[in-house]
A and B are shown apart, each in its own frame.
Chain A
């Protein structure tokens, strides 16, 4: 399984904290996961537009072409605004 989590505005737009996805070779990189999730519904497509989105794999900032493996945690969220 892949654990997918959302934060801040991304979480509010998709309407849930996270979901689990069955791991498969079709979901082996971040962009594949993003595009599959974006196809779920209009709101998800809006929430997961790449130009306003950051991604972390296993709690470290990542890039879109990173390969994931079964059991990984993938997080999608907007640019950060702490401090």
Chain B
């Protein structure tokens, strides 16, 4: 399940949703969740508010494609990905990934894969309010490398 939304999300409600039998054809054993939050610093700069833009349509398509890749690679249930857009403040929740599996290793790996791929494939852009004014966040090479690692591990 995916959602791109301006409103905040409730991790307790999402946990109950992950516990749903119908989403877990492979049985329980492990639930791994990741919550990304807005930082109050970035590349040595203090960050106030930020706003997130996305490409409606392509965003949803790319998240569904990433989920399909994860499901073909690990024995996991239906993952949940929530990503917020619009105006956010430091400390706000920004992204949620939830993965279930019969085995913890699969759940951990799939969760990390999903966030790594989201960071380089899903069309979101952050603009931050810093001491220097409003600046678009630069893409980082470390994010690219984190995602590339998963392709190398396959080969």
Contacts and interface: CB of A to CB of B under 8 A. Distances in A.
Contact of B136 (A9, A61, A83): A9
Chain A CB count within 10 A is highest, among B115, B122, B123, for: B123
A32 B16 CA distance: 50
A59 B125 contact: no
A77 B57 CA distance: 15
Size category, B interface: 20 to 34
B124 A83 contact: yes
Contacts of A5: 55
Interface of A: 5, 7-9, 56, 59-61, 75, 77-83
8 closest A-B pairs by beta carbon, nearest first, are A82-B124, A79-B139, A59-B58, A8-B125, A83-B119, A81-B137, A9-B136, A81-B126
Given A78-B139, A79-B139, A83-B94, 10 more contacts: A56-B55, A59-B61, A61-B62, A79-B138, A81-B119, A81-B136, A81-B137, A82-B118, A82-B124, A83-B83
